A = this chain, B = another copy of it.
């Protein structure tokens, strides 16, 4: 299996300490405790693409520390700026940073970003509308009025290559960078399995009937908090009926076309997704016969 983006953090998430006020107080008082530097939801990075950390003394007034866990025995936190609310806009600079960032650093960033973003967009109880309070060291919110407990969302998304006659189906969304094509994708809905979601999305978006769905790999995708589940499936035939709301174009790519795109060749038929996206991993796995 090729490398998978946004994975490999050496973080000990210390689930038990989240519910232990004494352990949390000790972590907050630890002189080795580190606080992630964030500008809004975007990271500061060093020359080698690594995340930048500071001490808890730099926690801005009005911010709360979210306990990420331990790295090398040292407690690590992310700052939650209360009252801030960021849109879904991601800067071009962020994608430049991600292209340089080692996967384990991106994995830590994904955890912190998704957690901060969830708190900022979930300050009220969805069951009764009351402002909620942080608990479990930053891994949940609780309603003081109705006692409902709320946990960060992780939304499973299937992303898949339908395969037919040695070629794979690639598409592009209307707002994508020029020339970029990738695997089709969509959210898993309530009441369906991964395999059913792969078949439904491929049919909805491209009119392609698939079977024999095989799991390949998974990774987090922190925009805002998806779990990407990459699969390959066999297409019944190669006819296409595109849902033009979802796909601007689609085509069946040969092995040579996929290889040229992944290698960034000048004459490549399409631009491949970046290495930190699981579609890249999926295309490399298919090319390598690992699917």
Check: A189 CB closer than 8 A to any chain B CB.
yes
Of residues 67 through 113 on chain A, the ones whose CB sits less than 8 Å from some CB of chain B are: 85, 107-108, 110-112
Check: A202 CB closer than 8 A to any chain B CB.
no
Check: A218 CB closer than 8 A to any chain B CB.
yes
Counting chain B CB atoms within 10 Å of each CB, which of A115, A192, A245 scores highest?
A192
Check: A126 CB closer than 8 A to any chain B CB.
yes
Q: How far is the CA of A152 from the CA of B192 in the complex (A)?
A: 13
Residue of B nearest to A205 (CB): B15
Q: How far is the CA of A21 from the CA of B219 in the complex (A)?
A: 36
**Residue in contact with A16 in the complex, picked from B114, B193, B195, B243, CB distance below 8 Å:** B243
A15, B204: Cβ atoms closer than 8 Å: yes
Q: How far is the CA of A6 from the CA of B191 in the complex (A)?
A: 7
B204, A220: Cβ atoms closer than 8 Å: no
**Which of A27-35, A36-44, A221-229 contacts the other chain?**
A221-229
A193, B219: Cβ atoms closer than 8 Å: yes
B114, A121: Cβ atoms closer than 8 Å: no
Q: Which B residues are in CB contact (< 8 Å) with A191?
A: 6, 9, 107-108, 110-112, 114-115, 220, 222
Residue of B nearest to A146 (CB): B85
Q: How far is the CA of A188 from the CA of B188 in the complex (A)?
A: 15
Q: How far is the CA of A192 from the CA of B68 in the complex (A)?
A: 12
**Residue in contact with A154 in the complex, picked from B15, B122, B155, CB distance below 8 Å:** B155
**Which of A55-63, A127-135, A256-264 contacts the other chain?**
A127-135
A153, B153: Cβ atoms closer than 8 Å: yes
Of residues 1 through 33 on chain A, the ones whose CB sits less than 8 Å from some CB of chain B are: 4, 6-7, 9, 13, 15-16
User: What are the 9 closest A-B residue pairs judged by CB atoms, nearest first?
Assistant: A111-B191, A114-B190, A124-B129, A215-B215, A194-B218, A129-B129, A122-B126, A110-B191, A193-B218
Q: Which residues of A contact B (CB under 8 A)?
A: 4, 6-7, 9, 13, 15-16, 85, 107-108, 110-112, 114-115, 118, 121-131, 139, 148, 150-156, 187-196, 200, 204, 215, 217-220, 222, 225, 227, 229, 243, 245
Known A111-B191, A191-B220; 9 more pairs at CB < 8 Å = A6-B191, A6-B193, A111-B189, A114-B190, A123-B126, A124-B124, A124-B128, A154-B189, A193-B227
